[in-house]
């Protein structure tokens, strides 16, 4: 062993924060050794499958189980009637509404769960699904929220319009809530007085997170010891345990919920689905384990969608481009049940971050939630709660205003950014931004892409197009986004009453390795890699010697789960603080071993040294051993710590993106020539994982902007129920991404980290969309809605007379 080991060598040996540690998860994922819900097989396990409604709105006149039950291998057929005695035919949603577990007298969307067939295997179950005789009487279908608010047709007959909903009074039988933030009279006054006002209506279409692994669960009720075990695709396993206990009456200590490996979530696996409930009931009824796993079509048709926001905006400014006010109204299509996954007090999530990265003195946001005959949901697809909608809205409004002012939109952004010296910045709609340096990031981005050169090239392209030399236009898409992640402070953020803290529990083993358990659950984010890095730096043991475990409620401390980029801001903070508790005890042990006073030793990478005498030290490995083999006066044996972290504020990552795109006006085909993404997520834990997250989030942004939608026809039939029509990009459709960064740490987070997984999606969608819109700006286009697929781009070009 060499004896000239430097301090740098010791830092490197830890594999701590800031290094590009390879993902420890990938060995099993890339070799097919992951353990997903559908990999779980238990002795005697039965399989459940749903009979789903072919209609978007219909009354059920009869259900005859005879033919289905006659099939060999069918064990049970459950309907709402069977669940009613248990009070489980309806369930509460995360948004304070309730949702049918199985159709109770009527169906409200195509694909709704009508009956649950339990059979000896999934093939028999699927056969029986075909044989169940359900008679329907069709009812008028409403797929448009504006029509819903005018219609006499009552979608939710179970609700009394005169009784306020979870978020206040309801104006109409198809109305869910009105949520208002900001000062509307003052905003209107500013608009009236403004030198310039730009207005735009935009539809952020309905889409779907579409994780590669669909949703599913395995329930196993052990009737001997009264214990229920539930494996499932849960982004929040602890909350699922609490809900399962409340619904079933089984005491919470008798329920064990396990999220095994999860193949992507993106918000789709936050909610509680009828399949989970039905698998539990079926296991209780049959006394056998019951598995339910949906197929791709079921996932797209019935589990939580995202977006579906009809937004009307007004933005006012001086003639020089200084923004004076912002007004936003949203008509939010929530589908048949309000099953949005938002903190309780935020029925439109954090849509009130819609003033974006700009210093806007006065603003107002109003959101009306509406029922329609579409699938329920409204989850945050790779974003914090409704932040993609907010950022898309403001980044489109900036472009619309730039057109009205006849200004360059990069410059318009620059003169309106919140300045570095204004942080912490209190926004007009209530949030307090923790830190930022927008001008630096923007200048770096524009320089990197040679922005002026791009604009010159674009101007030349317009000339060439007009001269008949080319049929391709060039768009330069800009976006500057501010995310709001890390929900959140318990004082204003909860899910079903559970405060949105998170947790970490660390146990150091005698030989200097460790296990840490967290209340979060990775779905591909690489927690086992990055949380070990945080700990390595905090406690001075190598990341490779630290196991990270999540997702088993019997062993992990309570936490609110993983979504909304909250793992690093909340559980990451708990991890650092738990690590510091370990270190505090280690300091006392070290001082005892070195025979000095506690305050005479200091932490140095992987050891405690005597101040002023660095040759006198005890490594963390030695300290760990001492914690278990020595009687240290005044100290309990062992080395463990737990931390529950209630964040004082959200974190506010930001970034600057530029997309250069060619648009063929004849075919509508787009070609992304360049995509530059600068992200500032505060302290960077693992740059390689950050790059991976950015590539993934941008790809999902490209999908949404360029074609990914859940579309319905007038009868409420889903037109995009398979991957033939639902756009899931492959490597072929994805451009090469250039990533870059600045570092502005969060001042209130223990390690200054802000969260990054969702930023690229939030900032990417408007960037791609702005590129398409920008390509047509020289020909008079102000705004065209997403998704920008071929025929819609062609239609835009056609309407502008570019085919004449």
Partner 1 sequence: MIPAAFEYYRPTDMDGVLAILAEHGDDARVLAGGHSLIPMMKLRMAEVPHLIDLQDVGGLKGITVEGGTIRLGAMTTQTEIIGSDTLTAAAPILREASLQIADPQVRYMGTIGGNVANGDPGNDMPGLMQCLDATFHLIGPDGTRYVAARDFYEAAYMTDREDDEVLTAVSFDQPVGGYAYEKQKRKIGDYATAAAAVQIVKEGGKCTSASIAMTNLSDTPIYSQEAGAALVGTVVDDAAMDAAVAAMLGDIDPTEDNRGPIEFKRHVASLILRRAIARAWSRA
Q: Does 724 bind partner 1 (CB under 8 A)?
A: yes
Q: Does 733 bind partner 1 (CB under 8 A)?
A: yes
What is the CB neighbour count within 10 angstroms for residue 366? 17
- For partner 1, give the closer residue by CB, 6 or 736: 736
| Of residues 352-411, those binding partner 1 (CB under 8 A) | none
Which residue is catalytic, options 235, 458, 523, 693?
235
Q: Does 794 bind partner 1 (CB under 8 A)?
A: yes
Judged by CB under 8 A, the stretch of 506-514, 519-527, 633-641, 728-736 that binds partner 1 is: 728-736
The site that binds partner 1 (CB under 8 A) totals a number of residues, namely 32
The owner of tokens 């002023």 is 612
Which residue is catalytic, options 19, 340, 354, 383?
383
Query: Under a CB-based contact definition with an 8 Å cutoff, are residues 303 and 376 in contact?
Result: no
- For partner 1, give the closer residue by CB, 245 or 785: 785
Question: Which one of 122, 227, 507, 509 is in contact with partner 1 (CB under 8 A)?
Answer: 122
- For partner 1, give the closer residue by CB, 184 or 664: 664
- For partner 1, give the closer residue by CB, 398 or 672: 672
- For partner 1, give the closer residue by CB, 119 or 498: 119
Q: Does 448 bind partner 1 (CB under 8 A)?
A: no
DSSP 13-68: HHT-TTS-PPPTTHHHHHTT----GGG---TT-EEEEEEE-SSSSEEEEEEE-HHH
Query: Under a CB-based contact definition with an 8 Å cutoff, are residues 354 and 394 in contact?
Result: yes
Least spacing, CB of residue 669 vs partner 1, in Å: 7
- For partner 1, give the closer residue by CB, 547 or 798: 798
Q: Does 296 bind partner 1 (CB under 8 A)?
A: yes
Both structure tokens of 216: 């599913």
Q: Does 791 bind partner 1 (CB under 8 A)?
A: yes
- For partner 1, give the closer residue by CB, 101 or 125: 125
Judged by CB under 8 A, the stretch of 162-170, 565-573, 633-641, 727-735 that binds partner 1 is: 727-735
Least spacing, CB of residue 131 vs partner 1, in Å: 11
Question: Which one of 62, 152, 732, 801 is in contact with partner 1 (CB under 8 A)?
Answer: 732
What is the CB neighbour count within 10 angstroms for residue 714? 10
Three-class secondary structure of residue 355 per DSSP? coil
Least spacing, CB of residue 216 vs partner 1, in Å: 13
How many helices (H) and strands (E) the chain has is answered by 20, 33
235 catalytic residue (yes or no): yes
Both structure tokens of 264: 């992507």
Q: Does 45 bind partner 1 (CB under 8 A)?
A: no
Q: Does 146 bind partner 1 (CB under 8 A)?
A: no
Question: Which residues, listed in sequence order, are joined to residue 325 by a DSSP beta bridge?
Answer: 316, 362
Query: Under a CB-based contact definition with an 8 Å cutoff, are residues 731 and 739 in contact?
Result: no
Least spacing, CB of residue 730 vs partner 1, in Å: 5
Judged by CB under 8 A, the stretch of 393-401, 476-484, 498-506, 783-791 that binds partner 1 is: 783-791
- For partner 1, give the closer residue by CB, 268 or 720: 720
The owner of tokens 């390595």 is 536
Query: Under a CB-based contact definition with an 8 Å cutoff, are residues 619 and 579 in contact?
Result: no
Q: Does 469 bind partner 1 (CB under 8 A)?
A: no
Which residue is catalytic, options 517, 693, 758, 767?
758
Q: Does 795 bind partner 1 (CB under 8 A)?
A: yes
Preceding peptide of 488 cis, ω within 30°: yes
Query: Under a CB-based contact definition with an 8 Å cutoff, are residues 571 and 518 in contact?
Result: yes
| Of residues 46-85, those binding partner 1 (CB under 8 A) | 49
Q: Does 11 bind partner 1 (CB under 8 A)?
A: no
Q: Does 227 bind partner 1 (CB under 8 A)?
A: no
Q: Dihedral through CA 74, CA 79, CA 84, CA 89, nearest 10?
A: 110
- For partner 1, give the closer residue by CB, 122 or 322: 122
Both structure tokens of 636: 């309990």
- For partner 1, give the closer residue by CB, 130 or 463: 130
Q: Does 671 bind partner 1 (CB under 8 A)?
A: no
Burial-class residue 565 by CB neighbours within 10 Å (0-12, 13-18, 19+): buried
Contacts of 444 (CB under 8 A, 6+ apart): 656, 678, 740, 742
Question: Which residues, listed in sequence order, are joined to residue 99 by a DSSP beta bridge?
Answer: 91
Question: Which of 369, 371, 364 is closest to 143 using CA atoms?
Answer: 371
Question: Which one of 414, 790, 800, 802 is in contact with partner 1 (CB under 8 A)?
Answer: 790
- For partner 1, give the closer residue by CB, 46 or 191: 46
Three-class secondary structure of residue 606 per DSSP? coil
Query: Under a CB-based contact definition with an 8 Å cutoff, are residues 136 and 72 in contact?
Result: no
The 697-716 site mask, x for binding partner 1 (CB under 8 A), equals ----------x---x-----
Preceding peptide of 424 cis, ω within 30°: yes
Task: Say how far apart CA 676 and CA 251 lie, in whole Å.
Answer: 52
Question: Which one of 42, 789, 800, 802 is in contact with partner 1 (CB under 8 A)?
Answer: 789
Three-class secondary structure of residue 132 per DSSP? coil
Q: Does 669 bind partner 1 (CB under 8 A)?
A: yes
Judged by CB under 8 A, the stretch of 119-127, 149-157, 488-496, 736-744 that binds partner 1 is: 119-127
Which residue is catalytic, options 382, 386, 684, 777?
382
Contacts of 151 (CB under 8 A, 6+ apart): 140, 142, 174
Question: Which one of 727, 737, 741, 776 is in contact with partner 1 (CB under 8 A)?
Answer: 727
Judged by CB under 8 A, the stretch of 228-236, 628-636, 654-662, 785-793 that binds partner 1 is: 785-793
Q: Does 123 bind partner 1 (CB under 8 A)?
A: yes
DSSP 182-241: E-HHHHHHHHHH-SEEEEEEEEEEEE----SS--EEEEEEETTTTEEEEEE--S-HHHHH
Query: Under a CB-based contact definition with an 8 Å cutoff, are residues 376 and 334 in contact?
Result: yes
Query: Residue 367: enclosing H or E segment and its boundaries?
Result: strand 362-371
Task: Say how far apart CA 36 and CA 229 lie, in whole Å.
Answer: 15
Both structure tokens of 304: 């939580």
Q: Does 130 bind partner 1 (CB under 8 A)?
A: yes
- For partner 1, give the closer residue by CB, 515 or 711: 711
Q: Does 322 bind partner 1 (CB under 8 A)?
A: no
Least spacing, CB of residue 721 vs partner 1, in Å: 10
Both structure tokens of 632: 């240290």
Task: Say how far apart CA 686 and CA 506 lie, in whole Å.
Answer: 21
Q: Does 719 bind partner 1 (CB under 8 A)?
A: yes
Least spacing, CB of residue 80 vs partner 1, in Å: 24
Contacts of 618 (CB under 8 A, 6+ apart): 589, 590, 593, 594, 607, 608, 626
Judged by CB under 8 A, the stretch of 88-96, 587-595, 692-700, 725-733 that binds partner 1 is: 725-733
Q: Does 622 bind partner 1 (CB under 8 A)?
A: no
Q: Does 802 bind partner 1 (CB under 8 A)?
A: no
Task: Say how far apart CA 71 and CA 458 lie, in whole Å.
Answer: 66
Question: Which one of 127, 252, 443, 662 is in contact with partner 1 (CB under 8 A)?
Answer: 127
- For partner 1, give the closer residue by CB, 321 or 764: 764
382 catalytic residue (yes or no): yes
673 catalytic residue (yes or no): no
Question: Which one of 86, 166, 297, 588 is in contact with partner 1 (CB under 8 A)?
Answer: 297
> N- to C-terminal Cα distance for the chain?
78
Q: Parallel, antiparallel, or unpaired for β 670-680 and 654-664?
A: antiparallel
Q: Which residues are catalytic?
A: 235, 382-383, 758
Kindly list the residues in this chain that would bind partner 1 in the complex (CB under 8 A). Answer: 49, 122-123, 125-127, 130, 295-297, 666-669, 707, 711, 719-720, 723-725, 727, 729-730, 732-733, 789-791, 794-795, 803
């Amino acid at each position: 062993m060499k004896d000239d080991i430097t301090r740098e060598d010791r830092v490197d040996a830890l594999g701590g924060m800031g290094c590009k540690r390879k993902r420890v998860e990938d060995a099993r994922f890339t070799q097919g050794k992951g353990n997903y819900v559908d990999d779980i097989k238990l002795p005697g396990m039965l399989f459940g499958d749903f009979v789903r409604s072919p209609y978007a709105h219909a009354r059920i006149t009869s259900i005859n189980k005879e033919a289905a039950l006659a099939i060999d291998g069918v064990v049970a057929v459950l309907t709402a009637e069977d669940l009613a005695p248990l009070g489980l035919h309806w369930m509460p949603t995360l948004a304070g509404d309730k949702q049918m577990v199985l159709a109770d007298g009527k169906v409200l969307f195509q694909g709704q769960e009508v009956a649950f067939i339990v059979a000896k295997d999934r093939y028999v179950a699927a056969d029986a699904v075909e044989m169940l005789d359900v008679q329907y009487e069709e009812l008028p279908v409403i797929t448009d929220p504006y029509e819903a608010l005018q219609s006499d047709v009552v979608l939710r007959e179970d609700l009394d319009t005169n009784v306020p909903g979870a978020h206040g009074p309801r104006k109409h039988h198809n109305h869910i809530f009105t949520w208002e933030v900001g000062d509307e009279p003052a905003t209107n006054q500013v608009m009236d007085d403004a030198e310039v006002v730009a207005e735009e209506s935009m539809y952020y279409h309905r889409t779907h997170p579409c994780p590669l692994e669909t949703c599913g669960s395995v329930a196993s009720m052990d009737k001997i010891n009264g214990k229920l075990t539930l494996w499932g695709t849960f982004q929040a396993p602890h909350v699922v345990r609490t809900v399962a206990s409340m619904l079933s009456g089984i005491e919470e200590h008798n329920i064990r919920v396990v999220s095994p490996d999860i193949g992507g979530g993106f918000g789709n696996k936050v909610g509680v689905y009828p399949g989970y409930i039905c698998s539990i009931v079926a296991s209780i009824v049959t006394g056998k384990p019951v598995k339910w796993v949906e197929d791709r079509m079921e996932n797209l048709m019935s589990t939580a969608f995202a977006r579906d926001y009809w937004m009307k905006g007004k933005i006012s400014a001086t003639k020089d481009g200084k923004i004076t006010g912002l007004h936003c109204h949203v008509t939010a299509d929530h589908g048949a049940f309000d099953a949005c996954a938002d903190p309780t007090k935020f029925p439109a999530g954090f849509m009130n971050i819609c003033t974006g990265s700009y210093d806007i003195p006065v603003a107002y946001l109003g959101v009306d939630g509406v029922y329609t005959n579409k699938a329920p949901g409204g989850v945050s697809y790779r974003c914090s709660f409704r932040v993609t909608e907010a950022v898309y809205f403001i980044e489109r409004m900036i472009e619309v205003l730039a057109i009205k002012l006849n200004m360059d939109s990069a410059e318009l952004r620059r003169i309106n950014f919140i300045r570095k010296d204004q942080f912490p910045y209190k926004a007009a709609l209530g949030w307090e931004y923790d830190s930022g340096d927008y001008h630096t990031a923007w200048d770096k981005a524009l320089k990197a892409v040679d922005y002026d050169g791009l604009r010159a090239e674009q101007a030349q392209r317009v000339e060439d197009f007009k001269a008949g030399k080319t049929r391709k236009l060039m768009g330069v898409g800009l976006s500057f986004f501010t995310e709001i992640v890390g929900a959140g402070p318990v004082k204003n953020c909860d899910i079903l009453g559970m405060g949105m803290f998170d947790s970490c529990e660390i146990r150091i083993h005698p030989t200097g390795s460790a296990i840490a358990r967290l209340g979060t659950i990775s779905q591909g984010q690489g927690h086992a890699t990055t949380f070990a890095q945080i700990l390595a730096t905090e406690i001075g043991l190598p990341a490779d010697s630290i196991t990270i475990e999540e997702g088993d409620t019997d062993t992990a401390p309570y936490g609110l789960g993983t979504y909304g980029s909250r793992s690093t801001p909340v559980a990451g903070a708990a991890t650092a603080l738990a690590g510091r508790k370990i270190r505090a005890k280690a300091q006392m042990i070290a001082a005892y071993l070195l025979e000095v006073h506690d305050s005479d030793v200091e932490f140095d990478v992987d050891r405690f040294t005597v101040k002023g005498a660095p040759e006198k030290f005890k490594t963390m490995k030695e300290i760990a051993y001492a914690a278990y083999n020595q009687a240290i006066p005044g100290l309990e044996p062992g080395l463990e710590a737990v931390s529950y972290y209630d964040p004082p504020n959200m974190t506010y990552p930001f970034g600057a993106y530029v997309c250069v795109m060619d648009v063929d006006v004849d075919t509508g085909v787009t070609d992304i020539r360049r995509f530059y993404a600068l992200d500032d997520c505060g302290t960077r834990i693992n740059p390689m994982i950050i790059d991976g997250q950015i590539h993934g989030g941008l790809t999902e942004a490209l999908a949404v902007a360029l074609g990914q939608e859940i579309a319905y026809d007038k009868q409420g039939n889903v037109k995009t129920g398979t991957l033939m029509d639902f756009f899931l990009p492959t490597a072929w459709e994805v451009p090469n991404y250039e990533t870059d960064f600045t570092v502005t740490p969060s001042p209130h987070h223990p390690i200054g980290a802000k969260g990054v997984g969702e930023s690229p999606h939030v900032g990417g969608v408007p960037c791609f969309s702005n590129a398409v819109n920008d390509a047509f700006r020289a020909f008079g286009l102000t705004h065209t809605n997403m998704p920008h697929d071929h025929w819609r781009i062609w239609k835009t070009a056609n309407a502008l007379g570019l085919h004449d």
